[in-house]
Amino acid sequence: MAVAAVATLLAAPWGSGPAAAAPAPTPTPTASATPKPTPTPTASATPKPTPTPTASATLAAPAPAPLAVTVSPGEEAIAAKAATSKDAIGAATGPVTCGLVADGCSQPFERGTILWTSATGAHWTRGAIRDAWTRTSAQDGFLAYPTSDEFCGLVQSGCGQHFQGGEVYWSPGTGAHWTRGSILAKWRGQGWENGFLGYPTSNEFCGLAGGGCGQHFQHGEIYWSPASGAHWSRGSIVESWRGQGWENGSLGYPTSDEFCGLTQSGCGQHFQHGEIYWTPNTGAHWSRGSIVESWRGQGWENGPLGYPVSDEFCGLVRGGCGQHFQRGEIYWSPGTGAHVIRGAIVEAWRAAGWENGRYGYPLGTEYWSAGKPTQRFEGGFLTYGVDGRCLTGRTMCASKNDRALRWMINGEIISTYDARFGCSTSPTDNGSFTVYWKSYDHTSTLYNTWMPRAMFYNGGEAVHYSPDFAARGYAGCSHGCVNLRDWEGINWLYGQVQIGDKVVVYY
């Protein structure tokens, strides 16, 4: 029954009107299950007390590792130099600066600067020397870095310092000046400040003619050019060169240093376009061109002309020039060339008016014709006769007629000197004699007079120098000797004359 009802219910279509449900039978109550007894609560375990937190130990922050301090070699070297240089430059006034030219370093101090490179080491510079160096652009300039500290105690209370590109020297009298290159090398060769040039009184100066440079020193000059090299000049010779316009003048640059030890205690110097020669008695004179070539051909100062006693002089008639020498002349013109005139012929030419007279310029050198010295000139021939005994051998030919002594070799007049002869109470003997004795510094035992460079030929008669003749001229006379008054001339003649040479005295 119950099953049928359920079936009917299931078969009823969805959507049909509600049907009256048959009342469901009340179910027979089921005996309820005996309830389980509520379990007796189990005593819960006594909870462990929460431990009191222990204060944890404060952990210290780890100490930082010390920073590694890097000191450059330059700083280290400068510090070491500074430690030993306090008296010279005082305390530092700023930090070390590196990264300079050539990887250098520097540090300023109260009284100076220390500079360092690996090539030079550490050196200090100060005062006037540092100022002079600074004006050349310091380490960036041509002097570059110092290669020594300043050194003092030099002559004249001076100081100096070496640099990579040169030197700086100072003295109270000159100030500080730099020098370098070929000029420095030449100065070094003369003994630095201890040599005769002394200290520099200027820096090197360049931009001169021919790409040259020069430098002034206390007692001279050094000049350099690519063509001539570096040479020093001083004293009367450099004054003569200055008078010619230095390197811009007619002589150009020196091509040698001054050389001394010449005859008559002379000195000379070669230049690009000429020469300057000096003796204590002649002074300094320059010579050039055809005239100096003619003088060279005569043996320079050792020849019969001796030293020049004037500079070359020009502006003569027909564009000519001339120069006086101790024992003769050299004259030149464009049309005649340069020729030597000396001895008796030059005296005759002078008397005729030199180049302005009727003879004009010489056209050749002296020669002998019919036993007489002869020379051709534009206007004719000049000749001068001497005693025939003078024409052979080596002869001192003394003419009372024109009061002259001529030194002759095989008839050629080599040199001519003014001569003074004996008084009427003590005349000089005439005749042909032979030199038998020479006395360099003789004093007469008979008259107690000084007669140096005496060349004895006839008993007590001699050719010799006379201070009285030099002082009074022909106002006096000798005690029978042949007096000469040309000191340099008789010094030269004394060196030429030999024992056995002739002496001819005549009217």
Q: Report how far residue 64's alpha carbon sits from residue 55's, in angstroms, rounded to the nearest whole number.
A: 27
Q: Report how far residue 224's alpha carbon sits from residue 232's, in angstroms, rounded to the nearest whole number.
A: 9
Which residues are bridge partners to 177 per DSSP? 169
Q: Report how far residue 69's alpha carbon sits from residue 77's, in angstroms, rounded to the nearest whole number.
A: 16
Q: Report how far residue 386's alpha carbon sits from residue 103's, in angstroms, rounded to the nearest whole number.
A: 85
Can 481 be counted among the known catalytic residues? Answer: yes
Can 477 be counted among the known catalytic residues? Answer: no
Catalytic residue among 159, 390, 397, 481: 481
The alpha carbon dihedral of 98, 101, 104, 105 has a sign of: negative
Tell me the pairing of strands 461-465 and 482-484.
parallel
The DSSP line for 371-395 is TEEEEEETTEEEE----GGGSSSEE
Q: Which residues contact 491 (CB under 8 A, 6 or more apart)?
A: 264, 453
Question: In a 3-state reduction of DSSP, which class is residue 308?
Answer: strand
The DSSP line for 126-141 is -HHHHHHHHTTTGGGS
Q: Report how far residue 355's alpha carbon sits from residue 378's, in angstroms, rounded to the nearest whole number.
A: 9
Q: Report how far residue 258's alpha carbon sits from residue 284's, in angstroms, rounded to the nearest whole number.
A: 12
Residue type, 215: Q
Question: In a 3-state reduction of DSSP, which class is residue 187?
Answer: helix
Catalytic residue among 177, 464, 477, 479: 464
Smallest CA-to-CA distance from 144 within 162, 158, 126 is with 162
Owner of token pair 């005690």: 479
**Is there a contact between 187 and 179 (Cβ–Cβ < 8 Å)?**
yes
CB atoms closer than 10 angstroms to residue 487: 15
Alpha helices by DSSP H, 190-275: 235-243
Q: What are the Cα distances from residue 362, in Å, to 172, 329, 340, 345, 374?
A: 58, 11, 8, 11, 11
Which residues are bridge partners to 404 per DSSP? 399, 418
Alpha helices by DSSP H, 15-85: 73-83
C-alpha 360: how far from chain center: 47
Residues with a catalytic annotation lie at 464, 481
